[in-house]
């Protein structure tokens, strides 16, 4: 059921005008690449995961010449909790129980913000991109959604918790609600080229394709495409994608996975096949495959 | 008594007959590469080399320029070639105490093998271990362990989170820890909302929070233990993998070096260390690759380019005897302390100086261990601490590498203390005699450590046999130095010059270097003359050239005498004045110079005043000579009456010091002349010491002295009455210049061999000395008669004077009494 093909040229001879028309038609169905905002937002919380997200965001910002914006959110739940009469903090290192003092918490938050600002400045300086750093107070998911509304993408750690695998509550909430692409990384993961795109021909897949072209074209790298298509459409879709990539001067490496793509979540067989095909490579997924996020290792970019 | 006849010209120069040598040129002669006349030194060196007990090191003593060095080196090399090659020595890291590197002894050639084997082992280990740790099996097992840790940690926290959720509580992360918060409808309760809850509900939640906090504490307490457990299991996994790889690679090496327990122990230590430093070991390769990519502005010291961590496994091959056949023989031309006993070098790294066992460098004693070292004594003594370092190594028979600062305890910085290496070496010191006797007298260790003195004589007996051998030595030198062949006349002339060098017609010089110099210079003159064979004329030209280049001072002195700035008479006769002869040494060149000695006498108490001594310009031997002649005067002429005169003796126009007793007979002649009022012939000059019985004794530099006076006379014109009185014992030493011999042959100059003072004074005054007759008197018309008369006269005058003085004293006493 799985077929791999590597094509840099179409097998069929089509007229140049037909190809041009096809590309134009594809462009209208997808968001205009040039119109994308030139800002990459990275959510920072001092966890190793968020620092990995910072490195990946800086790399992408350098590739697409975008600005790098760091955001640190002071959790208002925590600050409100400080006023509770029974609130006690258990130290992570020593397990000592101590009163949750709002002054001390605010001071620690300021210290964290200072350290994160420094880390952002260093990461931006390494790749020579412009950067800014902001601190907001409020609910973490809400603030991130607001701030990322006009960003090219939002980069964040899989979790701020101890685990390396799986997704944290914030990541899960954002996956459900975000309107912008989400880049998720674990603490030892990094974004690496070539990127692997899962293409299903859905609207979010088309947006993922546009973003993949944008990120790959300027990096001067080939693009791996896993085409999840019914057997009847697979060849045509691949042909179309091939033309598009060639038009954008991107070498394409195609893998065809014959499956029904238009499902809200992939079947177990498709999931396993995709995980095996992607392995630890950096992947771009359409929104309908968001359930794969928790299982994939490596950087994953989810496009709504 | 007949006047003493002068010496026959044939006795003035001990000629070597070229025809008796029996060859035309040196090309016909066989090589002769042995020392002649050095049997004693050869015996000593043979003994010293053969004697293996402690302290039987050799001091080869003798003047410089006689080829001691060549001889010793050749002799020792011949012996060393028959001895086994020494061991290889390596320094390796002491993993237990890195500041005390370990020394490994291996059979010759195996040190290099070990170094290469260990280097390959480390390379192979890096590759094999890297492959093993990148293998799917290892990665899977490692990830499984990590996942287990995460799952255990996460699982416990998730379980706690779940319990909290069931109680309407949630776990929130703070900047420094975790906190439980009341939770309702997905939101944390505001304080107001919490306070609005019924009191019972608030209390229940508080109690539940406390319970959960305790549980959270337990979970967090357990986390380090969980991590520790996993780390232990990870270490065990690493050990399992590395042990497998290590044992596989080590097996062959351990078999190869199974006969060397120390090497096996080192390999075992390497195996253990790699196992316990796996991260550093595997990381070192990557770091080395990174540093290799960086362009180095300056080349680093040897070994510095490799990874600092991996250097700990390297083998520092200190002594490599793989190419050595026989025992080593090394001449160390610069025996500094560090060159002798080795050193620990340091290299600058990040602004600091660091060192390790790989920077230990050998000294000559390491390289010659099991063999021989030849050192110049003066050099080892003049290099700071070198002598002490050498003595300590010989005394304890081990090589301990310490910096001079450490040795003097002037520094306490952390440095290496390499394990001492057993020392088995024979030292041959080469130096002059003075140094040997000084060391022997003032350094108590010297006699313990250098028990064999190889004393090289500086002359040998001259006879037909030694002349023939000398000729062969000359032929060998001519071939070795690529000189033209020397004909027999040239060889004969060299042999004659050799006798002249030791101022003895019956001896030959062993200072081969001076002979080689003379031959090279003669060869030069032969080439200049366009000849292909060196002849006697070229030898003479070379000798004349050597003298001419050195005798500026002699010529100036001669000029001043001729210009009468320095007063020396060479004709006529004078009372109390005589020509003495002295030798002036100017570096390697000596020349004779006449000096005027005068004596004044007057009535006195018998004291002979040596004016040089009064002003401290007289050496002890000269002063002794004057005292001897005073004694002789008293014993001969003042046995019956007191010596009623005083005399003063002086070397006129002498502005430097005077030493030696060769002028004592001369001074006595002048004294007798002054007492007897008999003039001395100024055409004669005198040399020779005298004993208390009036016998004239041998002196040194007889040839130079005669030639010095002859040159002056010749300049003024030879009269036929001029000559020199020499001790008869010095006749055998005569090797006079050809022009002197020619003048004597022509009757223009004379050399008189004097045995007694009587012979000498008769020659000098033309008046017989006079022998003591049976009646106790000397015959009239003799010097002794006149001396006795004069002394009696002075004695009477002195007695009368004393009588008169006593009378005056008595009168004075009487006057006083009145």
Domain boundaries B9-37+457-550, corresponding CATH code: 1.10.8.60
- Chain A residue with minimal CA distance to B213? A90
Quick check: B341 and B399 in contact, CB under 8 A? yes
Query: Domain range for residue A124?
Result: 39-185
Are domains B38-44+52-83+333-437 and B567-792 of this chain identical in fold?
Answer: no
Interface of B with A (CB under 8 A): 146-147, 150, 153-154, 157, 172-182, 187-188, 190-191, 194, 205-206, 209, 213, 216-217, 220-221
| Cα-based distances in Å from B162 to A88, B172, B194, B640 | 19, 13, 21, 144
Segment (H or E) for B590: strand B589-603
Angle at B600 between CA B595 and CA B606, to 5 degrees: 120
Closest by CA to A60, choosing from A155, A150, A146, is A155
Q: How many CB atoms lie within 10 A of CB B620?
A: 10
Q: Is residue A176 within 8 angstroms of chain B, CB to CB?
A: no
Closest by CA to B702, choosing from B735, B658, B670, B669, is B735
CATH number, domain of A78, equals: 3.40.50.620
Size of interface A-B (CB pairs under 8 A): 84
Q: Is residue A12 within 8 angstroms of chain B, CB to CB?
A: no
DSSP alpha helices (H): ranges in B450-566? Answer: 464-480, 488-501, 512-528, 536-550, 552-562
Segment (H or E) for B602: strand B589-603
Quick check: A239 and A226 in contact, CB under 8 A? no
pLDDT average, residue stretch B356-367: 93
Angle, helices B664-676 vs B757-765, to 10°: value is 60
Tell me the Cα Rg of chain B: 48
* Annotated catalytic residue B662: yes
The gap between the terminal CA atoms of chain A, to the nearest Å, is 28
Q: What is the pLDDT of residue A32?
A: 42
Distance from C-alpha of B741 to C-alpha of B739, rounded to nearest angstrom: 5
| Cα-based distances in Å from A122 to A40, A130, B562 | 16, 11, 99
Closest by CA to B686, choosing from B578, B590, B610, is B578
Q: What is the pLDDT of residue A97?
A: 86
Closest by CA to B756, choosing from B653, B623, B632, is B632
Question: Chain B contacts of A81, Cβ < 8 Å?
Answer: 172, 179, 181, 188
B818 vs A218 pLDDT, higher one: A218
Distance from C-alpha of B636 to C-alpha of B694, rounded to nearest angstrom: 9
Question: Chain A contacts of B157, Cβ < 8 Å?
Answer: 161-162
- Is pLDDT above 50 for A15? no
- Is pLDDT above 80 for B581? yes
**Looking at B314, B654, B705, B795, which residue is catalytic?**
B705
Domain boundary among A138, A153, A185: A185
Query: How high is the ipTM of this complex?
Result: 0.71
Give the gap in angstroms from C-alpha B191 to the nearest C-alpha of chain A.
Answer: 5
Q: How many CB atoms lie within 10 A of CB A258?
A: 18
Q: What is the pLDDT of residue A31?
A: 42
Closest by CA to A268, choosing from A295, A287, A304, is A295
Mean pLDDT computed over every residue of chain B: 88
Share above pLDDT 90 across residues of chain B, in percent, rounded to a whole number: 54
Distance from C-alpha of B574 to C-alpha of B680, rounded to nearest angstrom: 5
Q: What is the pLDDT of residue B299?
A: 43
Q: Which of residues 104-123 of A touch B (CB under 8 A)?
A: 105, 108-109, 111-112
- Is pLDDT above 90 for B420? yes
Same domain (yes/no): A109, A211: no
Distance from C-alpha of B260 to C-alpha of B113, rounded to nearest angstrom: 13
Q: Is residue A173 within 8 angstroms of chain B, CB to CB?
A: no
pLDDT band of A160, cuts 50, 70, 90:
low
Question: Chain A contacts of B217, Cβ < 8 Å?
Answer: 90, 95, 97
Give me the number of domains chain A comprises: 2
pLDDT (tens digit per residue) in B456-510: 988 899 999 999 999 999 999 999 999 999 999 999 999 999 999 998 999 999 8
Q: What is the pLDDT of residue A23?
A: 42
Q: Is residue A165 within 8 angstroms of chain B, CB to CB?
A: yes
Q: What is the pLDDT of residue A110?
A: 92
Q: What is the pLDDT of residue B413?
A: 66
Label residue B476 exposed, middle or buried (CB < 10 Å: 0-12, 13-18, 19+). Answer: middle
Give the gap in angstroms from C-alpha B145 to the nearest C-alpha of chain A.
Answer: 13
Q: How many CB atoms lie within 10 A of CB A96?
A: 13
Give per-residue burial for A136-145: e unless 16+ CB within 10 Å, then b.
beebbbebbb
Secondary structure E strands in chain A: 2-5, 39-43, 67-75, 88-91, 97-99, 131-138, 153-157, 182-185, 195-199, 223-229, 252-258, 283-286, 300-303
Distance from C-alpha of B703 to C-alpha of B689, rounded to nearest angstrom: 16
Q: Is residue A79 within 8 angstroms of chain B, CB to CB?
A: no
Q: How far is CA B692 from the centre of its chain?
A: 44
Work out whether the CA dihedral A141, A142, A143, A148 comes out positive or negative: positive
DSSP A215: H
| CATH 3.50.20.10 applies to domain B87-294+304-323 | no
Q: What is the pLDDT of residue B301?
A: 44
pTM, whole model, 2 decimals? 0.65
Distance from C-alpha of A226 to C-alpha of A256, rounded to nearest angstrom: 6
Report the SS3 class of residue B580: strand
Question: Chain A contacts of B216, Cβ < 8 Å?
Answer: 90, 95
Segment (H or E) for A55: helix A48-64
- Chain A residue with minimal CA distance to B183? A77
Q: How many CB atoms lie within 10 A of CB B777?
A: 13
Inter-chain residue contact B172 with A81, CB threshold 8 Å: yes
Mutate to test the interface with A, among B143, B171, B179 (most CBs of A within 10 A): B179
Give the gap in angstroms from C-alpha A92 to the nearest C-alpha of chain B.
Answer: 5
Tell me the Cα Rg of chain A: 21
- Say whether the peptide bond before residue B657 is cis (omega within 30 degrees of 0): no
Q: What is the pLDDT of residue B287?
A: 58
Label residue B584 exposed, middle or buried (CB < 10 Å: 0-12, 13-18, 19+). Answer: middle
Q: What is the pLDDT of residue B245?
A: 87
Q: What is the pLDDT of residue B138?
A: 87
Closest by CA to B748, choosing from B730, B724, B732, B765, is B724
Quick check: B181 and A81 in contact, CB under 8 A? yes
Q: What is the pLDDT of residue B815?
A: 65
In order, the DSSP letters of A73-84 are: EEEHHHHHHTTS
Mutate to test the interface with B, among A43, A74, A77, A94 (most CBs of B within 10 A): A77
In order, the DSSP letters of B308-341 are: TTGGGG-EEEEE--TT--SS-EEEESS--HHHHH
Option in A46, A83, A100 nearest B179 (CB) = A100
Same domain (yes/no): A174, A196: no
The pair of three-digit structure tokens given for residue B451, joined into one six-digit string: 């028990």
Domain boundaries B567-792, corresponding CATH code: 3.30.230.10
Inter-chain residue contact B147 with A109, CB threshold 8 Å: no
Question: Chain A contacts of B136, Cβ < 8 Å?
Answer: none
Same domain (yes/no): A8, A143: no
Domain boundary among A140, A166, A185: A185
Cβ-proximal residues to A128 (8 Å cutoff; 6+ apart), any chain: A62
Q: What is the pLDDT of residue A103?
A: 86
Q: What is the pLDDT of residue A24?
A: 41
Option in B175, B182, B188 nearest A105 (CB) = B175
Give the gap in angstroms from C-alpha A289 to the nearest C-alpha of chain B.
Answer: 25
B493 vs B794 pLDDT, higher one: B493
Question: Chain B contacts of A160, Cβ < 8 Å?
Answer: 173
Mean pLDDT computed over every residue of chain A: 81
Give the gap in angstroms from C-alpha B140 to the nearest C-alpha of chain A.
Answer: 15
Same domain (yes/no): A203, A172: no
Domain ranges of chain B: 9-37+457-550, 38-44+52-83+333-437, 87-294+304-323, 567-792
B135 vs A7 pLDDT, higher one: B135
- Is pLDDT above 70 for A265? no
The gap between the terminal CA atoms of chain B, to the nearest Å, is 65
Give the gap in angstroms from C-alpha B189 to the nearest C-alpha of chain A.
Answer: 8
Domain boundary among A130, A162, A185: A185
Report the SS3 class of residue A4: strand
Same domain (yes/no): A290, A232: yes
- Is pLDDT above 80 for A86? no
Closest by CA to B770, choosing from B791, B756, B759, B784, is B784
Q: Is residue A294 within 8 angstroms of chain B, CB to CB?
A: no
pLDDT (tens digit per residue) in B119-159: 999 888 888 888 888 888 888 888 888 888 878 887 888 88
Inter-chain residue contact A108 with B175, CB threshold 8 Å: yes
pLDDT average, residue stretch B153-182: 84
**Looking at B662, B665, B689, B795, which residue is catalytic?**
B662
The pair of three-digit structure tokens given for residue B429, joined into one six-digit string: 């010191």
Inter-chain residue contact B150 with A97, CB threshold 8 Å: no
Cβ-proximal residues to A272 (8 Å cutoff; 6+ apart), any chain: none
Q: Is residue A92 within 8 angstroms of chain B, CB to CB?
A: yes
Distance from C-alpha of A157 to C-alpha of B409, rounded to nearest angstrom: 61
The architecture that CATH gives domain B38-44+52-83+333-437 is: 3-Layer(aba) Sandwich (3.40)
């Amino acid at each position: 059921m799985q077929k791999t093909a590597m094509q840099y040229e179409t097998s069929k001879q089509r007229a140049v005008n037909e190809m041009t028309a096809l590309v134009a038609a594809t462009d209208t169905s997808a968001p205009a690449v040039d119109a994308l905002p030139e800002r990459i937002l990275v959510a920072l919380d001092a966890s190793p995961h968020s620092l990995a997200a910072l490195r990946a965001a800086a790399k992408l910002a350098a590739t697409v010449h975008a600005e790098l914006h760091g955001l640190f959110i002071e959790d208002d739940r925590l600050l409100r909790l400080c006023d509770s009469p029974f609130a006690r903090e258990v130290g992570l290192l020593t397990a000592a129980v101590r009163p949750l003092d709002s002054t001390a918490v605010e001071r620690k938050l300021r210290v964290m913000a200072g350290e994160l600002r420094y880390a952002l400045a260093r990461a931006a300086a390494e790749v020579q991109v412009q950067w800014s750093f902001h601190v907001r107070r409020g609910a973490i998911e809400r603030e991130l959604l607001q701030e990322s509304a006009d960003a090219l993408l939002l980069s964040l750690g899989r979790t701020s918790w101890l685990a390396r695998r799986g997704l944290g509550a914030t990541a899960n909430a954002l996956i459900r609600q975000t309107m912008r692409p989400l880049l998720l990384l674990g603490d030892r993961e990094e974004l690496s080229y070539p990127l692997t795109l899962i293409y299903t021909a859905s609207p979010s897949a088309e947006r993922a394709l546009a973003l993949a072209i944008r990120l790959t074209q300027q990096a001067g790298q080939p693009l791996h495409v896993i085409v999840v298509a019914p057997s009847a459409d697979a060849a045509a879709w691949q042909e179309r994608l091939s033309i598009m990539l060639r038009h954008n001067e991107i070498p394409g490496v195609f893998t065809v996975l014959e499956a029904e793509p238009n499902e809200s979540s992939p079947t177990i067989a498709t999931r396993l096949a995709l995980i095996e095909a992607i392995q630890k490579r950096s992947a771009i997924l359409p929104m309908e495959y968001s359930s794969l996020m928790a299982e994939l290792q490596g950087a994953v970019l989810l496009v709504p | 008594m007949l006047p003493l006849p002068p010496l026959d010209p044939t006795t003035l120069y001990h000629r070597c007959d070229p025809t008796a040598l029996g060859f035309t040129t040196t090309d016909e002669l066989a090589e002769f590469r042995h020392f002649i006349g050095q049997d004693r030194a050869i015996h000593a060196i043979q003994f010293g080399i053969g004697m293996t007990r402690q302290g039987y090191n050799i001091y080869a003593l003798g003047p410089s320029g006689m080829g001691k060095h060549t001889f010793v080196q050749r002799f020792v090399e011949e012996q060393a070639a028959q001895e086994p090659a020494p061991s290889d020595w390596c320094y390796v890291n002491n993993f237990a105490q890195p500041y005390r590197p370990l020394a490994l002894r291996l059979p010759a050639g195996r040190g290099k093998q070990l170094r290469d084997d260990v280097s390959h082992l480390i390379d192979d280990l890096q590759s094999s271990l890297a492959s093993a740790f990148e293998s799917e099996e290892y990665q899977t097992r490692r990830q499984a362990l990590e996942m287990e840790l995460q799952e255990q940690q996460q699982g416990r926290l998730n379980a706690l989170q779940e319990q909290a959720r069931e109680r309407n509580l949630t776990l929130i992360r703070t900047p420094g820890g975790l906190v439980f918060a009341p939770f309702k409808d997905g939101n944390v309760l505001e304080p107001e909302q919490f306070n609005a809850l019924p009191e019972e509900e608030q209390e229940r939640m508080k109690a539940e929070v406390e319970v959960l906090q305790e549980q959270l504490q337990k979970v967090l307490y357990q986390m380090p233990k969980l991590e520790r457990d996993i780390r232990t299991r990870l270490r065990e996994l690493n050990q399992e993998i590395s042990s497998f790889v290590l044992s596989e690679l080590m097996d062959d090496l351990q078999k190869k070096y199974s006969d060397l327990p120390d090497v096996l122990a080192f390999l075992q230590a390497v195996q253990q260390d790699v196992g316990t430093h796996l991260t550093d070991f595997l990381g070192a390769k990557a770091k080395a690759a990174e540093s290799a990519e960086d362009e180095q502005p300056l080349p680093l010291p040897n070994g510095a380019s490799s990874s600092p961590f991996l250097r700990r496994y390297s083998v520092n091959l200190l002594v490599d005897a793989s190419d050595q056949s026989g025992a080593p023989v090394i001449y160390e031309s610069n025996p500094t302390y560090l060159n002798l006993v080795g050193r620990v070098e340091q290299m600058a790294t990040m602004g600091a100086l660091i060192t390790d066992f790989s920077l230990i460098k050998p000294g000559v004693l390491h390289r010659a261990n099991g063999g021989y070292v030849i050192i110049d004594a003066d050099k080892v003594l003049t290099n700071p601490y070198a002598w002490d370092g050498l003595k300590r190594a010989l005394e304890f028979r081990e090589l301990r590498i310490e910096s001079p600062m450490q040795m003097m305890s002037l520094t306490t910085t952390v440095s290496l203390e390499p394990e001492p290496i057993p020392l088995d070496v024979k030292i041959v010191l080469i130096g002059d005699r003075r140094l040997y006797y000084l060391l022997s007298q003032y350094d108590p260790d010297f006699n313990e450590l250098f028990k064999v003195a190889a004393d090289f004589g500086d002359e040998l007996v001259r006879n037909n046999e030694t002349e023939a051998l000398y000729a062969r030595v000359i032929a060998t030198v001519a071939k070795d130095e690529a000189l033209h062949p020397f004909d027999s006349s040239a060889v004969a002339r060299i042999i004659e010059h050799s006798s002249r060098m030791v101022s003895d017609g019956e001896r030959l010089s062993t200072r081969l270097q001076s002979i080689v110099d003379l031959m090279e210079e003669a060869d030069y003159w032969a080439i200049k003359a366009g000849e292909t064979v060196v002849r006697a004329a070229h030898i003479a030209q070379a000798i004349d050239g050597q003298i001419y280049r050195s005798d500026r001072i002699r010529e100036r002195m001669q000029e001043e005498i001729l210009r009468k700035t320095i007063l020396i008479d060479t004709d006529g006769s004078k009372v109390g004045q005589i020509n003495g002869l002295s030798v002036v040494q100017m570096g390697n060149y000596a020349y004779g110079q006449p000096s005027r000695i005068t004596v004044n006498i007057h009535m006195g108490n018998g004291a002979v005043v040596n004016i040089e001594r009064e002003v401290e310009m007289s050496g002890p031997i000269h002063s002794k000579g004057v005292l001897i002649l005073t004694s002789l005067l008293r014993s001969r002429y003042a046995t019956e009456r007191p010596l009623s005169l005083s005399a003063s003796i002086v070397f006129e126009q002498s502005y430097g010091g005077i030493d030696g007793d060769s002028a004592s007979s001369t001074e006595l002649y002048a004294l007798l002349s002054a007492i007897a009022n008999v003039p001395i012939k100024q055409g004669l000059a005198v040399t020779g010491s005298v004993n208390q019985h009036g016998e004239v004794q041998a002196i040194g530099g007889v040839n130079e002295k005669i030639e010095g006076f002859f040159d002056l006379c010749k300049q003024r014109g030879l009269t036929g009455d001029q000559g020199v009185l020499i001790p008869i014992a010095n006749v055998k030493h005569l090797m006079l210049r050809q022009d002197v011999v020619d003048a004597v042959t022509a009757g223009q100059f004379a050399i008189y061999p004097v045995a007694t003072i009587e012979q000498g004074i008769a020659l000098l005054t033309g008046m017989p000395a006079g022998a003591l007759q049976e009646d106790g008197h000397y015959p009239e018309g003799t010097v002794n008669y006149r001396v006795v008369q004069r002394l009696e006269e002075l004695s009477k005058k002195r007695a009368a004077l004393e009588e008169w003085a006593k009378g005056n004293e008595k009168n004075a006493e009487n006057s006083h009494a009145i």
